[in-house]
Structure 1
Amino acid sequence: MTVLVVTNDFPPRQGGIETFVRSLCDELPDDLVVLTARMPGDAQYDAGLSFPVERDRTTMLLPTPRVTRYAVQVMRRYGADRVVFGAAAPLGLMGPALRKAGARRIVALTHGHETWWAGTPGARQALRRIGDAADTMTTVSSWCAEQIAPALSTAAAERMRRLTPGVDTSRFFPDCGGEQVRKGLGLEGVPLVACVSRLVARKGQDTLIRAWPQVLAAVPHAVLLIVGGGPDRDRLERLAADVGVARSVHFTGAMPWEEIPPYVDAADVFAMPCRTRRFGLEPEALGIVTLEASATGKPVVVGDSGGAGDTVRHGETGYLVDPYNPVATAVRLVELLTDPDKARAMGAAGRAWVSEEWTWSRSGAVLRALLDIR
């Protein structure tokens, strides 16, 4: 049996979904083929893989008749009889054609944007067709499942299964390079809160900046380390200046994926007060970086948005906070910065939880079962 993975979300492009899909590929049998789009640096990246990658001529796969025919050709060329859609919407609309071409099992992964489809007329009907064409539609969090299920037929909703991303605990672990990062940034011995994420409004870095004067009142030498790039950087830098904390907020800019673990490890506390925007259409589906922070032994402070609550055991591995309330966020940050014993205990509990329940091997076993791979 051969598995065909059809996805727009694949390296060398970086992102949470790209990491999710790529890591699941490592959990599948070697007779695997990926169909994806063209992107800068793809030839060099693909050359280092143990499985073939077919790149369409476009920079984004859409379920057009031409792309569907190409997917069928790739499927037949490699003798694939299992199909995974890296993101259910919209590529899962190719499901009936691939089924007709010989797909015995079809699994369509969802990540969060499908919740928007579920609540939007027209797109909702398309999502229903995707669910009916797949043997299983997966969800990354209980919240996502609750949002998507009403848009599906009863039979498709009953076939839904939870498939979460895992955490590579061999990359994210206590003392994986944080001291070197602190030394390089001149932050040795400084109380440090880190937010590692793309700089977009949904991630809530501005809530941290608005909370920072209150944090500094209790912990005068504390530094907020904002790791990542994105379109919101200029606005965030202006905000830091406006509230008078620019000297205590450090922006690293975009960082390569392989260099991220030491920046998480550098923190005393990880914080990402993510929030739901656009009248509920733009939530946080899960937030794997929060679990990566727990894997490094850090207490976490996370915004109550969408499925983000699944990534923290409130009061045990960290805290869930109102992402629109800087004062409440500051209270939790100050609590953890001024009580290192509690912070260490929460970090240790998070590490144990992630190591036991959020592994790629566990996620891979779920996917193989859904594909009926023994």
Structure 2
Amino acid sequence: MHQSTPALRPRVLHLAQPVDGGVARVVTDLVRAQLAAGLHVSVACPRSELARRLRESGADVWHWRAGRAPGPALPAEVRGLARVVAAVRPGLVHAHSAKAGLAGRLAVRGRIPTVFQPHAWSFEAVGGATAALALRWERWATRWTARVVCVSEAERARGVRAGIRGRWSVIPNGVDLGRFAPGPTGAAGAAEAVGAIGAAGAVRAGLPQLDGIGPDAPLVVCVGRLCRQKGQDVLLTAWERVAARVPGARLVLVGDGPDGDALSARAPGSVLFAGAVADPVPWYRAADLVVLPSRWEGMALAPLEAMACARPVVVTDTGGARESLPPGAAAHCLVPPEDPGALAEALVGLLLDAPLRASLGALGHRHVKSTHDVRHTAERVAALYRELLSHQHVVPTEYREFIHS
């Protein structure tokens, strides 16, 4: 339960679409932290599991009827958001991802300080004329954007190279270390992380999808939406080589998405599909190794969550992946995107080297604890809000206490 809300605090309105995956986790963690800090927090999003969770956390949730992608319904979606903004009367709007950033900035048009957080650039997700249109919009929309928040320096640099002349802040993603943690082993620190690697087999007994897979079978887990961005198709190509060189190895894809049927049709018997899960923590803890072969990212949450659970990771060198890894880990954990050969070599190398996996798991665990605690992320976002509110020509009386806190 969040703290009682002080009388003199600004109201923040978060806009969220999509309502699943990493965006949903970022919004959930940020909203909960802001409620605990005493802010008035409202959220506009479609009816979803995200809306339910946020309402239970104490946020003021407004139903926003909106599709995931732009389309003919966009004018009605913008009008719907404008009505929410008029009702909530926020001091600041924080729009998450391309669709919310599009509709939100059209609805607000800079009349209220607006933070836009792309969560990976929209023009990287599409091609041809659609990509050109998305880029043109992002360049133009900066006039209505008080600050663009990127989750990595790589994401910011990509925007700058694309000609987006925004006012930037880089605030890396964080994870809830109370939730994402090694399984109980009775140890602490690096020893806890090493013990967690050895305890993976015991965790598997609680996952019915793994029935028939022995506790010592090499297990690789990929957590992410089944879509082109996350690169599971590249992973399946690499997996043919991995399975041939690591007897008994199994791969589990955790998540659902538009590419699920196509991936399932080409997957060999050593690949399992767990579908969407409410809690990925048991899957991280059950894994010997976690992989995310994305084509593009801002800074993916899944590798941070896996490292928080003391699991070694293999990720593609895209977006903020390099920035998310602990110093010295890139040689073992980072591979080029869309290179199944390099991906296979990295997976095989780690699956055949248990001491190295344990060492990397411990290193990653310490790194996330020190640099990617979601509480630090929330503190930096709050500092940004104070800065933006203090720069208004006329600062409303009810915001002054927050600005100087």
TM-score, with structure 1 as normaliser? 0.82
User: Which residue of the partner structure matches residue 154 of structure 2?
Assistant: 143
SS at match of 2:287: coil
Give the counterpart letter for 1:348 in structure 2: A
Please point out which of 294, 316, 319 is paired with 1:306.
Answer: 319
Please point out which of 268, 272, 293 is paired with 1:250.
Answer: 272
User: Which residue of the partner structure matches residue 64 of structure 2?
Assistant: 56
TM-score, with structure 2 as normaliser? 0.76
Listed one character per residue, the Cα deviations across residues 37-80 of structure 1 (whole Å, up to 9, x for unaligned) are 3325677545523231222355679576623541442233xxx3
1:14 aligns with 2:25: no
Q: Which runs of 5+ in 1 are unaligned?
A: 241-245, 276-282
Alpha-carbon spacing, 1:248–1:198, altered in 2? closer, same or farther (3 Å)? same
Give the counterpart letter for 1:53 in structure 2: V
User: Which residue of the partner structure matches residue 351 of structure 2?
Assistant: 337
Q: How does 1:175-194 map to 2 (within 5 A)?
A: 175=183, 178-183=200-205, 184=208, 185=210, 186-187=212-213, 188-194=215-221
SS at match of 1:170: coil
User: Which residue of the partner structure matches residue 194 of structure 2?
Assistant: none
Please point out which of 384, 391, 395 is paired with 1:370.
Answer: 384
Alpha-carbon spacing, 1:62–1:370, altered in 2? closer, same or farther (3 Å)? farther
> Residues of 1 paired with 2:259 and 2:144: CA distance?
38
Give the counterpart letter for 1:139 in structure 2: C
User: Which residue of the partner structure matches residue 243 of structure 1?
Assistant: none
> Residues of 2 paired with 1:251 and 1:85: CA distance?
32
Please point out which of 255, 265, 268 is paired with 1:238.
Answer: 265
> Residues of 2 paired with 1:59 and 1:236: CA distance?
24
* Range moving further from structure 2, 110-119 or 338-347: 110-119
SS at match of 1:174: coil
Q: Which runs of 5+ in 2 are unaligned?
A: 1-8, 185-198, 387-402
* Range moving further from structure 2, 328-337 or 361-370: 328-337
> Residues of 1 paired with 2:245 and 2:32: CA distance?
46
Q: What is the Cα deviation at residue 239 of structure 1?
A: 2.1
> Residues of 1 paired with 2:367 and 2:50: CA distance?
35
Please point out which of 167, 172, 179 is paired with 1:164.
Answer: 172
Please point out which of 273, 276, 296 is paired with 2:293.
Answer: 273
SS at match of 1:195: strand
> Residues of 1 paired with 2:336 and 2:161: CA distance?
27
Q: What is the Cα deviation at residue 356 of structure 1?
A: 0.6
Contact 1:218 1:334 in 2 (8 A): yes
Give the counterpart letter for 2:280 in structure 1: I
SS at match of 1:90: helix
SS at match of 1:371: helix
1:289 aligns with 2:302: yes
SS at match of 1:284: coil
Listed one character per residue, the Cα deviations across residues 5-49 of structure 1 (whole Å, up to 9, x for unaligned) are 241337xx4221111112111222434232413325677545523
* Range moving further from structure 2, 308-317 or 60-69: 60-69
Please point out which of 222, 229, 232 is paired with 1:195.
Answer: 222
> Residues of 1 paired with 2:53 and 2:153: CA distance?
34
Q: What is the Cα deviation at residue 314 of structure 1?
A: 7.2
Contact 2:93 2:115 in 1 (8 A): yes
Aligned alpha-carbon RMSD (Å)? 3.0
> Residues of 1 paired with 2:160 and 2:345: CA distance?
36
1:321 aligns with 2:335: yes
Contact 1:115 1:144 in 2 (8 A): no
Q: What is the Cα deviation at residue 252 of structure 1?
A: 1.5
> Residues of 2 paired with 1:5 and 1:300: CA distance?
35
Please point out which of 114, 128, 135 is paired with 2:139.
Answer: 128
Q: What is the Cα deviation at residue 324 of structure 1?
A: 2.6
1:207 aligns with 2:234: yes
User: Which residue of the partner structure matches residue 262 of structure 1?
Assistant: 282
Contact 2:97 2:120 in 1 (8 A): no
Q: What is the Cα deviation at residue 92 of structure 1?
A: 4.4
Alpha-carbon spacing, 1:172–1:45, altered in 2? closer, same or farther (3 Å)? closer
SS at match of 1:48: helix
Using the aligned pairs only, state the percent identity: 30
Q: How does 1:102-121 map to 2 (within 5 A)?
A: 103=112, 105-116=113-124, 120-121=131-132
Structure 1 segments of 4 or more deviating over 6 A? Answer: none
Please point out which of 67, 70, 80 is paired with 2:83.
Answer: 70
Give the counterpart letter for 1:192 in structure 2: L
* Range moving further from structure 2, 320-329 or 306-315: 306-315
Contact 1:313 1:319 in 2 (8 A): no
Q: What is the Cα deviation at residue 193 of structure 1?
A: 1.1
Give the counterpart letter for 1:141 in structure 2: S
Alpha-carbon spacing, 1:122–1:200, altered in 2? closer, same or farther (3 Å)? closer
Contact 2:12 2:41 in 1 (8 A): yes
